Amino acid sequence: MKPKKEDFEKPYRDLLNLIQEEFPLHPQPFKVLAEKVGLTEEEVLSFLKPLKEKGILRHLGASPDSHKLDHFTCLCAVELPEDKLNLAYEIAELPEVTHAYLRDHKLNFWFTLVLPKKNDLTPYLEKLSQTYGLKFYAFPAKKKFKVRAVFSL
């Protein structure tokens, strides 16, 4: 059963909201968070650990802005035949892939790449094509509108 926000007492909802907005750069970040929401450091850790283990919290750490680091991002897609859908898992694990989704579409596997520079895109996709025997398509962004999402609890 999936947890609902009502399942969490207020200090824990406050904690989940807080870590989305401002994770402290401090030698004892969980202690700082605990003090802000009225819990102990041990309560914070014992609450967050199972959420991380269950995959409810996917990531707890820094998320650098690739554009501000002069990296290039691109949405890509490929048509995976039914008998090769397992490749989605393999491609999703590549270090350059940040997001990946199977979709109901002719191009049924979509993913986002982050590369050091724009000129790396064509050789990277050519290497994927050679490795997997598939044609990969690139859909570079024309304009970026929003980068982050916060889920208020």
Residue 74 scores a pLDDT above 70: yes
What residue spans define the domains of the chain? Answer: 5-53, 72-139
Classify domain 72-139 at the CATH topology level. Alpha-Beta Plaits (3.30.70)
Q: Which amino acid is it at 7?
A: D
Higher pLDDT, 148 or 25: 25
Round the CA-based radius of gyration of the chain to a whole number and report it: 19
Phi, psi (rounded to 5 degrees) for 113? -105, 145
pLDDT tens digits, residue range 77-126? 999 999 999 999 999 999 999 999 999 999 999 999 999 999 999 999 99
Please list, in sequence order, all residues whose beta carbon lies within 8 angstroms of the beta carbon of residue 53, skipping any fewer than 6 positions away: none
| pLDDT reported for residue 84 | 95
